[in-house]
């Protein structure tokens, strides 16, 4: 009961903070007529450890079905306190974004994120740009990093509870009749696109994640053979629940990773 009360109070306080520090929204028109939303927030603080006058930009990528979870909201508040300019990328047709095309953002298709990253970079040419994805939002982030390699505008990235073996995850989580086998989807579900990433990528996973495939199926060869990929594997944390579990050391790890690159 005490845990439920604490969780309720946490949500109330979190909602109050979000209200006090609201986002400013931009709608970005894409090349095919689609629209994604970018929510911006910065409180004017100088980032700790940043030696440039331009604040670093943190691009947050929610789950593929959209909306900001309590975990991501807390992460945005922590980033703001650390002096980051926070930008939240909202997929087509999610979080109040108008759906102007006959399709949503497909899992693993980085085209929308590519245009969003270019737009954010154009607005902050002198800023370091890093990205953090949550859950299935890793599909577009890792595909983007794999396709762009060293030419990406991102300096570093982190994926919280990422989908690293998308095809295995989809096949295990969906009835066969609902599993899509299109070529484009398989490109995003394959673990191979991120092999070409050429910036540091921190993946944070938990053994007790109830959503993803078992930790025993993690592609450890990716982390052993690719010098850019780093893995943090915890015993507890659930699915994207690290920030709500009171693990200050995990929060410190998330922020020390990009700050070390500023």
Active site residue 6: no
Is residue 148 within 8 Å of 114, Cβ to Cβ? yes
DSSP letter for 230, please: E
In this prediction, residue 50 carries a pLDDT of 58
Is residue 245 within 8 Å of 237, Cβ to Cβ? yes
Handedness of CA 133, 139, 144, 149 (dihedral sign): positive
Quickly list DSSP for 94-163.
-TT----SS--PPTT--HHHHHHHHHHHHH-TTS-EEEEEEGGGHHHHHHHHHHHGGG-S-SEEEEES--
Picking from 164, 120, 161, the residue whose alpha carbon sits closest to that of residue 143 is: 164
* Span 132-177, pLDDT tens digits: 999 889 889 999 998 998 899 999 999 998 888 766 666 665 544 4
Confidence tier at 187 by pLDDT (50, 70, 90): very low
* Lookup result for tokens 């009835």: 175
β-pairing verdict for 35-41 and 201-206: unpaired
- Active-site residue, from 71, 91, 148, 239: 239
Confidence tier at 22 by pLDDT (50, 70, 90): confident
* Span 61-99, pLDDT tens digits: 999 888 888 888 888 888 888 889 999 999 999 989 999
In this prediction, residue 218 carries a pLDDT of 85
* Lookup result for tokens 């300096």: 155
| Cα dist from 230 to 90, 136, 210, whole Å | 26, 18, 22
Active site residue 124: no
CATH number at 2-259:
3.40.50.1820
Is residue 144 within 8 Å of 110, Cβ to Cβ? yes
- Active-site residue, from 39, 109, 112, 209: 209
**Residue 259: count of CB within 10 angstroms of its CB:** 19
Please give the Cα distance from 158 to 6 (Å, whole number).
Answer: 28
The terminus-to-terminus CA distance of the chain in angstroms comes to 43
- pTM value is 0.78
Beta sheet of 57-61, edge-to-edge order:
24-29, 35-41, 85-90, 57-61, 129-134, 156-160, 201-206, 229-234
**Which residue ranges make up each domain of the chain?**
2-259
* Span 91-121, pLDDT tens digits: 999 989 999 998 888 888 899 999 999 999 9
Please give the Cα distance from 24 to 5 (Å, whole number).
Answer: 31
Is residue 219 within 8 Å of 194, Cβ to Cβ? no
């Amino acid at each position: 009961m005490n845990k439920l009360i604490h969780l309720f109070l946490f949500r109330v306080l979190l909602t109050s903070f979000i209200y006090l520090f609201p986002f400013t929204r931009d709608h970005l028109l894409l090349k095919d007529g689609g629209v994604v939303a970018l929510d911006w927030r910065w409180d004017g603080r100088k980032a700790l450890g940043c030696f440039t006058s331009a604040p670093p930009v943190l691009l947050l990528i929610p789950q593929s079905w959209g909306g900001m979870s309590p975990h991501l909201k807390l992460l945005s508040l922590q980033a703001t306190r650390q002096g980051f300019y926070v930008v939240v990328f909202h997929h087509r047709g999610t979080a109040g974004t108008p759906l102007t095309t006959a399709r949503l953002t497909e899992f693993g298709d980085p085209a929308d994120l590519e245009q969003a990253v270019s737009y954010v970079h154009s607005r902050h040419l002198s800023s370091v740009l890093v990205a953090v994805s949550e859950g299935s939002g890793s599909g577009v982030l890792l595909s983007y990093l794999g396709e762009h390699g060293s030419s990406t505008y991102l300096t570093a990235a982190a994926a919280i509870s990422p989908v690293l073996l998308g095809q295995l995850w989809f096949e295990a989580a969906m009835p066969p009749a609902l599993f899509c086998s299109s070529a484009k989807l398989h490109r995003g579900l394959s673990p191979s696109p991120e092999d070409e990433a050429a910036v540091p990528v921190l993946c944070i996973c938990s053994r007790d994640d109830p959503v993803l495939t078992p930790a025993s199926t993690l592609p450890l060869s990716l982390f052993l053979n690719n010098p850019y990929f780093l893995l943090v594997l915890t015993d507890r944390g659930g699915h994207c629940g690290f920030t709500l579990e009171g693990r200050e050391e995990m929060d410190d790890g998330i922020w020390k990773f990009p700050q070390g690159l500023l």
